[in-house]
Structure 1
Amino acid sequence: MIRALILLLFCTGAWAHQSSDAYLRYRVEGASVEQRLDIALRDLDRDLGLDADGDGTLSWGEVRTRWSDIERLAADGVRFTADGAACQPAGADTPQLDEHSDGMHAVLVTRWQCPATVQALAIDYRLFTATDAGHRALARLVGTAGEPLVLVPGAGPQTLSANSAGLGGFVIEGMAHIAAGLDHLLFLATLVLVAVWKRDGTGWVPRASGRSAFVETLKLVTAFTVAHSMTLGLAAGGVIDPPTRWTESLIALTVLLAALDNIRPFLPGPRWAMVGLFGLVHGVGFAGPLKDLGLSGSELLLPLLGFNVGVELGQLAAVALLLPPALWLRGRTVYRRWFVPGASSAVAALATLWLAERSLALQLLP
């Protein structure tokens, strides 16, 4: 448990829960195919070194002058065939950028002419295979009922058609999203640390039985799940769309308050109620990859279900890892006097840095 928390604390970053995603949209009209590929500038900068002046920010001029390199990288990393036949390039749009929930993306729109009316596309996706093992692409066929696909670099061709079913891929994507979400994981960890205790005035005392600790953990996880599932659905469907900066700042604040409450309980009411309130904020943060697909109505149902199931599975895995050692250590002096205060203080310090970075647009952490 101690080793797991230390590893979490040292994997820092201002936008701690954002994974590396690209977005592919295909529009098919007869034998013509339009491909739109959105690639995060931060991923391109890592591989191509776009930041020429080294000031930590990318200007349009720095991106524009390297556009031919970006096009080459995209052409090497994304290839497709239509019903087994190669298609021929038929033009491209001018360079452009678009803002997603996880930052600015380069947008590459290309048009292709295929030998016959297109029924299905086989996409061979290889972007960032050597530099980012966690990178994924979310691909959809515009104007059809088929579900989007999660593309894993180097996994071989995957078929995208009007009848595609991507539920399993979105379960995996949800699990990967929370696994990469340090702020979400630290929030859960702070809860588990003292779920094995109960309030005694202004302090904590160990729970008498493991059953009581399990019940308390179940209440906390259930409250968090119900709350973030609500706002995840609303945000993914575009019903609510708060500024990313506000959401990220509030997520950092929830981590900070939960950690401080571990050291000396001060938040009013039962802890599950506090967790439910904070979970509403985390749900909006979870919604980024789905929101950026631009799905609506029935198109969103299966991806939303799969993604949410994946998030819950990842969450339960984290709790299953941390709860048993917390149960075993709950009555020991070293746990009460040193480990919980020390770990909670470290989380609080990190959350304070995140809050400053996100709310003030600073760069304090590498």
Structure 2
Amino acid sequence: MIKLITVLLLILPTLALGHKPSDSYLTINVEDGGTLSGQWDIALRDLERAVGVDQNRDARVTWGELKARRAELEDHILSRLTVTARDGDREQVCTLDSDGLKVDDHVDGTYAVFLLTGDCGLSPLSLTLNYRLLFDRDASHQGLVEVRYGDQPGQPVALSNQHREQTLSRDGDGGLAALATFFRQGVHHILIGYDHILFLLTLLFPAVLVWRQGAWRPKESMREALLTTLGIVTAFTVTHSLTLALASLGLVNLPSWLVESAIAITVGLGAASNLAPQYFPRRWVMALVFGLIHGLGFAAVLADLGLDGGSLVLTLLGFNLGVEAGQALIVLIFVPAAFLVRRTAAYRRWFVPIGSVAIIAIATVWAVERLAGAL
């Protein structure tokens, strides 16, 4: 028991790091003759980590501080992006410059917006992007990129430390590429979204148990456990898919701090339900209601891409399928393992209550941090 508590306390600081990953948003428009235009949105907190913009160390980056470091910031970001144009056998590295700077509010904070221009020296049939921003500071950072050839629909792609380079063709099937790219994004997002994982686990802890006569007791068959799991996962999937779609379409828009704080609270309530299960007999109802909040959290990844039309539909579909695949992976790992040990006192009397208490502690840290960040 002491060893279990020690392990839970050791992982608590890691899990308490939060949920929203580091992303930048890059849009490149390819015009006739190979001229480029676009913008690159990068979070002020990421620029502070990379270059150091907060000159007076007051934990706030002002417009004046941003302008004072503009030249250095532009040199830094442009040195970490290479765009290569190809037209048949010809290949040319495009020039890139920043000719404007402004700020904009995204769902997770304020971003610097660098207005880009460029020239490839030829009319490209394809562009190859090599993206290297922030990987030396944050290996989990991603660049969410959209390339638009003239009036064609945009081709979105996600670039990461493991996938730094991507070629996007003028006549390529951007739809299928978007579907595949954001399927991977969905899987990645659920697997690094500790708050979503912990919420799901709090509901699955007792999926192999039944509360009877004031104690947790093992379910007799895998069929019972699977039916309970199916009800929880289905309810969670239906509602988080609904709000993910509504938020991505711009029909629902809540502040990031509010959504993230609410998610932390749902994690704590889910864990608390394991300590007083007599008051929460239908756990699928909890999954159904709280799934609405978690869907808004998933949508934060897509909300700032500015996609529309077919690109948005395929991106949304791919991302949601990826989330479900990642969620299924967690269920397939946890539920069979829990079923095997469900009869042990260690699982019923120690793991479920102590694990739930530890998750309540983690959720409390998250809620306090996220609410404080809004002040």
Deviation at 1:79, TM superposition (A): 1.3
Counterpart Cα distance in 2 of 1:72 and 1:115: 22
1:125–1:313 distance in 2 versus 1, CA, 3 Å: same
Deviates more, 1:205-214 or 1:228-237: 205-214
Number of the residue aligned with 1:311: 323
Deviation at 1:33, TM superposition (A): 0.7
Deviates more, 1:225-234 or 1:66-75: 66-75
Deviation at 1:268, TM superposition (A): 4.6
Counterpart Cα distance in 2 of 1:156 and 1:251: 31
Counterpart Cα distance in 2 of 1:8 and 1:301: 38
Deviates more, 1:325-334 or 1:147-156: 147-156
Work out which of the residue numbers 164, 175, 192 in structure 2 matches 1:180: 192
Number of the residue aligned with 2:50: 47
What TM-score comes out, normalization by structure 1 length?
Answer: 0.90
Alignment of 1:181-220 (within 5 A): 181-200=193-212, 203-220=215-232
Aligned residues: 360
Segments ≥4 residues shifted beyond 6 Å: 2-7
Deviation at 1:283, TM superposition (A): 0.6
Counterpart Cα distance in 2 of 1:176 and 1:4: 25
Unaligned runs of 5+ in 2: none
Number of the residue aligned with 2:262: 250
Task: Check the 8 A contact 2:74/2:98 in 1, yes or no.
Answer: no
Deviation at 1:333, TM superposition (A): 1.7
2:335 matched to 1:329? no
Unaligned runs of 5+ in 1: none
Alignment of 1:1-366 (within 5 A): 9-13=12-16, 16-31=18-33, 32-83=35-86, 84-89=91-96, 92-142=98-148, 143-153=151-161, 155=163, 157-162=165-170, 163=172, 164=174, 165-200=177-212, 203-265=215-277, 267-268=279-280, 270-361=282-373
Task: Read off the aligned partner of 2:40 and give its amino acid letter.
Answer: L
Task: Check the 8 A contact 2:143/2:158 in 1, yes or no.
Answer: yes
* 1:166 partner SS: helix
Deviation at 1:176, TM superposition (A): 1.3
1:242–1:203 distance in 2 versus 1, CA, 3 Å: farther
* 1:52 partner SS: coil
Deviation at 1:186, TM superposition (A): 0.8
Task: Check the 8 A contact 1:249/1:354 in 2, yes or no.
Answer: yes
Task: Check the 8 A contact 1:128/1:153 in 2, yes or no.
Answer: no
1:95–1:180 distance in 2 versus 1, CA, 3 Å: same
Deviates more, 1:201-210 or 1:92-101: 201-210
Counterpart Cα distance in 2 of 1:288 and 1:173: 12
Please provide the CA RMSD for this pair. 2.4
* 1:93 partner SS: strand
Counterpart Cα distance in 1 of 2:234 and 2:10: 26
What TM-score comes out, normalization by structure 2 length?
Answer: 0.88
Counterpart Cα distance in 2 of 1:60 and 1:94: 14
1:237–1:202 distance in 2 versus 1, CA, 3 Å: farther
